[in-house]
Amino acid sequence: MGLFTKEIERAPCTVEISHKFESLHAHVRFNNGAVIHPGDEVQVHGPEIMAPFGEVVTEDREATIIRASKIEQLWTRMTGDFEFMELCEFSFSEEVTL
């Protein structure tokens, strides 16, 4: 990892999207053991994956991981905590007026 430079890597991944009454979820798992660090960006390639209602869709795809530079990683570590309000949702969007 460079101090200022980003590195880009490709990783095979499995995407699971559940659009069911019993469970609404979506997860990405990297199949080569790649690990995400603070500040990294991930994009799954290919068309949008849509699961019709009542179904679970699992697809093998390829993802690009844009690794944060050392500086950016440090920055995300230092400042990420201040975005904590995202964890405390209050069942309303941030829009002041609708």
Partner 1 sequence: MNVQAKHSADASTAEEAIAIQERFDSTAATELAMQNTLLTPRFYTTDFDEMDAIDVTPVRDDWDSLIDRMVSDPNKGHFKKNEDWDHVDWEGMEPELKKEFIDFLVSSCTAEFSGCVLYKEMKRRGSNKDVTQLFQLMARDEARHAGFINDALREAGVAVNLGFLTQKKKYTYFKPKFIYYATYLSEKIGYARYITIFRHLQEHPEHRFHPIFKWFEEWCNDEFAHGEAFALIMKSDPKLTRGRNVLWIKFFLTAVYATMYIRDHQRPRFHAALGVDPDWYAHEVFTKTSTLTRQIFPITLDIENPRWQRGLERLQRANVDMAEGRKQGGIDGRLKSLGAQMRAAACFVDLYTIPAKTHAVPASTRLEPAY
Binding site for partner 1 (CB under 8 A): 15, 17-29, 35-56, 66, 76-77, 80-81, 83-98
Whole-angstrom Cα distance, residue 66 to residue 40? Answer: 6
Whole-angstrom Cα distance, residue 32 to residue 12? Answer: 7
Which residue's CB is nearer to partner 1, number 4 or number 21? Answer: 21
Min CB(6)–partner 1 separation in Å: 12
Min CB(30)–partner 1 separation in Å: 10
- Strand 24-30 to strand 41-44: parallel, antiparallel, or no bridges (unpaired)? unpaired
Cβ(21)–Cβ(54) below 8 Å: yes
Which residue's CB is nearer to partner 1, number 4 or number 53? Answer: 53
Q: Which residues pair with 11 in a beta bridge?
A: 63
Which residue's CB is nearer to partner 1, number 3 or number 87? Answer: 87
Min CB(63)–partner 1 separation in Å: 9
Min CB(67)–partner 1 separation in Å: 11
Cα torsion 42, 63, 12, 66 to 10°: value is: -50
Which residue's CB is nearer to partner 1, number 4 or number 48? Answer: 48
